[in-house]
Amino acid sequence: MSKQILVLPGDGIGPEIMAEAVKVLQLANDKYSLGFELSFDELGGAAYDKYGVPLADETLERARAADAILLGAVGGPKWDAIEPALRPERGLLKIRSQLGLFGNLRPAILYPQLAEASSLKPEVVAGLDILIVRELTGGIYFGQPRESKVLENGERMAYDTLPYSESEIRRIAKVGFDMAMVRNKKLCSVDKANVLASSQLWRAVVEEVAKDYPEVELSHMYVDNAAMQLVRAPKQFDVMVTDNMFGDILSDEASMLTGSIGMLPSASLDANNKGMYEPCHGSAPDIAGQGIANPLATILSVSMMLRYSFNQAAAADAIELAVSKVLDQGLRTGDIFSAGMTKVGTAGMGDAVVEALRSL
């Protein structure tokens, strides 16, 4: 039976990078007889323009029915002035929460060819391979109540709420330990337990889950220290597990260790490994429409999809190898360019990966 993949290119550079990822996916589909059928729809600002909402009900139903979802990125200045509930990012948060995609896997891997593109010294980052496991459907981005208001004295004030239940922490902690088991068996749980009640519960539940994983070496770190350690000595980490907001920030920080956010894929999984796959970066309105965005994060998201949702390790390995070969050839988009390399645009990079994959 064929497998259904819903493709949501989104906004800004989303359609540009997705066009390249789809080329790679279609070649992998043919080459490895994967039996995928692709369908396309809108999310974010593009959905607002077409349907009047950032996530239409029919799109959500198609996403529920699909076996996996491939997403570009959403958002942009065009939609900054619309009411908050209809902003593009609300569509993204809604699809994540409605599909129960609570486990966000964000690898930060430094391709040796890009050691020069990192903002840190090559010896600090050479060989870097971290996996950040971020809780994605709870915490402060979803917590209620949240409010902006004007006090009686005329001063404006606003607040958010950071809730976590035991079961939410337990299930993401298990993802962290499971990932550590298939890697180097080291898990660092990041929290702010010296200040936040939610973090104190987080730490206690992670300790409980650890009892089921005696082989994994567990450590805890406050988020401020983790932010510092990531730039001081990032190779001390194997798997990091953390809440929604801390994971959002730390994974962007980790991305720069690898040279560019344009290199980083991600997977968001539900309890049955159904997933949505997307680059870690946003819609990059500053470079949209210029054909210069790096499509590799989205192409590598295709490889994560093959690995995690479809158990197609050989095809996933081949895509990653094709990316590595293209970097070996010295091809670079602007964000990872360094002297002596050959600058290519979005389509040039996508075509090169397709050629490299074809010749494997």
Please list the active-site residues.
141, 192, 224, 248, 252
Nearer to ligand NAD, 41 or 238 (CB): 41
Nearer to ligand NAD, 12 or 205 (CB): 12
Q: Which of 25, 47, 92, 306 binds ligand NAD (CB under 6 A)?
A: 92
**Binding residues among 258-287 for ligand NAD as defined by CB under 6 A:** 261-262, 278, 281-287
Q: Which of 76, 139, 176, 259 binds ligand NAD (CB under 6 A)?
A: 76
Three-state secondary structure along the chain?
A: CCEEEEEEEECCCHHHHHHHHHHHHHHHHHHCCCCEEEEECCCCHHHHHHHCCCCCHHHHHHHHHCCEEEEEECCCHHHCCCCHHHCHHHHHHHHHHHCCCCEEEEEEECCHHHHHHCCCCHHHHCCCEEEEEEECCCHHHCCCCCEEEECCCCCEEEECCCCCCHHHHHHHHHHHHHHHHCCCCEEEEEECCCCCHHHHHHHHHHHHHHCCCCCCEEEEEEHHHHHHHHHHCHHHCCEEEECHHHHHHHHHHHHHHCCCHHHCEEEEECCCCCEEEEECCCCCCCCCCCCCCCCHHHHHHHHHHHHHCCCCHHHHHHHHHHHHHHHHCCEECHHHCCCCCEECCHHHHHHHHHHHHHCC
Q: Is 21 in the site for ligand NAD (CB under 6 A)?
A: no
- x-or-dash string of contact with ligand NAD, 34-73, rule CB under 6 A: ---------------------------------------x
Nearer to ligand NAD, 76 or 103 (CB): 76
Q: Is 91 in the site for ligand NAD (CB under 6 A)?
A: no
Q: Which of 120, 335, 350, 354 binds ligand NAD (CB under 6 A)?
A: 335
Nearer to ligand NAD, 117 or 187 (CB): 117
Closest separation between CB of residue 57 and ligand NAD, Å?
Answer: 20
Nearer to ligand NAD, 9 or 138 (CB): 9
Q: Is 323 in the site for ligand NAD (CB under 6 A)?
A: no
Q: Is 293 in the site for ligand NAD (CB under 6 A)?
A: yes
Q: Is 89 in the site for ligand NAD (CB under 6 A)?
A: yes
Closest separation between CB of residue 311 and ligand NAD, Å?
Answer: 25
Q: Are 155 and 187 in contact (CB under 8 A)?
A: no
Nearer to ligand NAD, 36 or 277 (CB): 277
Q: Site residues (CB under 6 A) for ligand NAD?
A: 13, 17, 73-76, 89, 92, 261-262, 278, 281-287, 293-294, 297, 335
